[in-house]
Amino acid sequence: MSHSLDSEVLIVGAGWSGMYALHRLRKLGLNATVLEAAEDVGGTWFWNRYPGARCDIESLHYSYSFDEDLQEEWTWSERYAAQPELLSYARHVADRFDLRKDIRFGVWVESAEFDESTHQWTLSTSAGQTFTSRFLIMATGSLSAPKTPDIPGLENFRGEIISTFDWPEEKRDFSGQRVAVIGTGSSGIQVIPELAKTAEELFIFQRTPSYSLPAFNRPLSREESEEFKRSAAQIRAAARDSLDGLALENSGKSALEISAEEREEIFSAVYNQGSPFKFQGIFTDQMFQEEANRTAADFVAAKIAERVDDPDIARALTPTSYPIATRRLCIDTNYYETYNRDNVTLVDLLSDPLTQVTEQGLQTEAGLHEVDIIVLATGFDAITGALSRIDIRGTGGRLLREKWADKISTYLGLMINGYPNLFTVTGPLSPSVLSNMMVSLEHHVEWITDCIAHLDQQGLSRIEASAEAEAEWGEHVNEVAAQTLFPQANSWYMGANVAGKSRQILPYVGGVGNYRRRTLEIAADGYRGFELQSQPSVVIAN
Ligand code: FAD
Ligand code: NAP
């Protein structure tokens, strides 16, 4: 029996992951099509256009490493690039590798179904189109499904509601406007100082405070860029072998086995470099030992107190309910200083809870805050949300979100038992968001595309993670996390920000280098833990 297919491989998503997957599949001689909901490439950097949006990993490191010429010809203007520059880079990559001709933009994938008799996936879109392929790569992003905030009465608000996730494309003027921001995670912390510059009044509704370090962002000099390019091969290799996809030094010391003076000196030196990843790992025990972690938390709390004039506001802005860096450590430009402005008011929802949104504004127990605009910086259904909101049906027609209702399980964050031929880029239980994503997604794309090429060469076209391998990987992920402080926080890393979601560690905390070696060994060992089969003959339609 033969079947006709639209593509050998369908890729959902045209962010960094989907773009690179397309490029690499083409190089391997495989036919691929990308389906993307947005009207252009860029993923995260297409959608999150709010003022102040920047990367929190230095641009030089947060860029593709797979092509030396690309690396050579692109020069970043700032240490931490802003969203317009990151989007220009994505567009440049799309043009340079002529990617757009195989990307269908404005296509929202609603469902994906695996046919056991043909070993094919069929995708359906919101416009009623269907696409068929042998392999499906979900490059749908870890932070691309915005959370629907559970705020009573939001629908009654008469003014404008803007989300940081899909900020309007046209430039907005907030002068003369009373603006409320709900949410003080990384997005809120970046947008708040920018809005405060022009808004007549800015009210910040904070439930859980974040820890944030100053970015010390600055223009990048030609010399720095050239120096990086000269050493790029070594830097990139070290990053791939590192804990977090960044070639960072740590002190090699325990925070508790040195004098308070030495500890302070080390914290100060790293703090002044403006690198949160470096700060959170500077002492070997900081993420493992509460007392060690507290030394870092106390250091940052003292900095918050220095940066904020009013001690009561400083206190309200200082987290107390979780170890530092078990929720994402943020990076800012003038965030805490913004609270020293006359037009800015912090509304601490822990002491003055939000009761409802009315037509005029936000009602807390203490009173009504009338505003013209509400900015939602309320976060994402992270890591699994982009997959769970699609009706993905695997063997036996089982919906993926149903499989994941009680426990989120994958094998290596790359494949899921019951969902043959479906690969996830930076999927749940892989290092993903706890790393420089560029390093992690390049590795996943290479692993996945090599796997597809291998199956092709061997005349195999069904691969599925075994239930045993998946269960063992899940246990390992939990065991490693249990040695750290991460499980103590109600974070999106733990799935805790979405009601009803399974509470478990979602990124793998065992380190990028270890993880990489393990996945490569598994592939070299004939894809250990995966079941490989041959399949009915397939004809590719032109
Ligand atoms: P994405 O960029 O999320 O792209 C996924 C694409 O899939 C999107 O374009 C989306 O429209 C599309 N898609 C999803 N579902 C569907 C569907 N059903 N149908 C059709 N299309 C679909 N990481 C870092 O390492 N460093 C940083 O500095 C950093 N900063 C960040 C800042 C912000 C504001 C956010 C939100 C995230 C940040 N991240 C950062 C994480 C960031 O998401 C990744 O670094 C990276 O951009 C992920 O690329 P991706 O291609 O895997 O996914
Ligand atoms: P987030 O970190 O999850 O923050 C969401 C914020 O909204 C939290 O303060 C949360 O408070 C609040 N919130 C949610 N629902 C609420 C409600 N019903 N009422 C009141 N407050 C509510 O989301 P994010 O800021 O978008 O960041 C997500 C991730 O994206 C980051 O951790 C980071 O990985 C990435 N990111 C990176 C950058 C960067 O610097 N490059 C910028 C933006 C995003 P509670 O915690 O109390 O729920």
pLDDT tens-digit series, residues 173-214: 999 999 999 999 999 999 999 999 999 999 999 999 999 999
Q: Whose CA is nearest to atom 33 of ligand 2?
A: 186
pLDDT of 6 reads 83
**Predicted confidence band at 496 (pLDDT cuts at 50, 70, 90)?**
very high
CB of residue 207 inside a 6 A radius of ligand 2: yes
Q: Please give the distance, rounded to the nearest whole angstrom, from the Cα atom of residue 146 to the centre of ligand 1.
A: 11
pLDDT digits (tens, 9 = 90+) for 204-263: 999 999 999 999 999 999 999 999 999 999 999 999 999 999 988 889 999 999 999 999
Tokens 């000099």, residue located: 221
Task: Please check whether residues 531 and 397 belong to one and the same domain.
Answer: yes
Assess whether 365 and 486 both reside in one domain: no
pTM of the full structure? 0.97
Six-digit token string for 6 = 């639209």
- What is the model's pLDDT at position 47? 98
Q: Are residues 93 and 168 in the same domain?
A: no
Structure tokens at 275: 């690198």
State the average pLDDT over residues 275-297. Answer: 96
Nearest ligand to the CA atom of 244: 1
Contact 364, 347 (CB under 8 A): yes
- One DSSP character per residue, 353-406 reads -EEEE-SSEEEETTEEEE-SEEEE---B-TTTHHHHTSEEE-GGG-BHHHHTTT
Q: Does residue 364 share a domain with residue 462?
A: no
Instruction: Determine, yes or no, domain membership for 454.
Output: yes
Predicted pLDDT at 537: 52
Mean of pLDDT over the chain: 96
Residue type for position 39: E
- The pLDDT of residue 247 is 80
**432 in contact with ligand 1, CB cutoff 6 A:** no
Could you tell me the CATH number of the domain that includes residue 92? 3.50.50.60
The pLDDT of residue 249 is: 86
Torsion angle of alpha carbons 229, 233, 235, 238, nearest 10°? 170
Question: Best mutation site among 143, 167, 376 for ligand 2, i.e. most ligand atoms within 8 A of its Cβ?
Answer: 143
Question: Is 441 touching ligand 1 by the criterion CB < 6 Å?
Answer: yes
Whether the predicted pLDDT of 540 surpasses 50: no
Task: Check whether residue 385 and residue 530 sit in a common domain.
Answer: yes
CB 66 within 8 A of CB 43: no
Q: Residue with the nearest Cα to atom 6 of ligand 1?
A: 13
pLDDT(541) > 50: no
Residue 329 DSSP class: P
Residue with tokens 């925070």: 255
pLDDT at 168: 93
How many domains is the chain built from?
Answer: 2
Domain stops at, among 335, 362, 379? 379
Single residue among 359, 379, 399 that ends a domain in this structure: 379
Residue 237, in any domain of the structure:
no
Q: What is the pLDDT of residue 535?
A: 67
pLDDT at 542: 36
The pLDDT assigned to 494 comes to 98
Q: What is the CA(369)–ligand 1 centre distance, in A?
A: 33
Give the rounded percent of residues in the chain with a pLDDT score beyond 70: 98
Domain identity same for 109 and 140: yes
pLDDT bucket at 499, cuts 50 / 70 / 90: very high
Q: Are residues 170 and 46 in the same domain?
A: no
Please indicate, yes or no, if residue 524 is contained in any of the structural domains. Answer: yes
The proportion of the chain whose per-residue pLDDT surpasses 90, expressed as a percent, equals: 95
Which atom of ligand 1 lies closest to the CA of 190? 34
Backbone angles phi and psi of 66, in degrees to 5:
-75, -15
Tokens in use for 169?
A: 């494309």
Residues spanned by the domain of 26: 7-145+381-541
Are 375 and 385 found together in one domain? no
Rounded CA-CA distance 463/416 in Å is 10
Q: Which of 379, 397, 424 is the last residue of a domain?
A: 379
Q: Please, which pLDDT band fits residue 2 given cuts at 50, 70 and 90? A: very low
Name the residue of 346, 357, 497, 501 whose CB sits within 8 Å of the most ligand 2 atoms, as the mutation to test its pocket: 497
Residue 86 lies in a domain: yes
Residues 14-37 have a mean pLDDT of 97
Same domain, 392 and 522: yes
Are residues 128 and 16 both part of a single domain?
Answer: yes
Residue 176 lies in a domain: yes
Same domain, 359 and 386: no
Task: Looking at the structure, tell me whether residues 35 and 178 fall in a common domain.
Answer: no
Q: Which atom of ligand 2 is nearest to the CA of 143?
A: 30
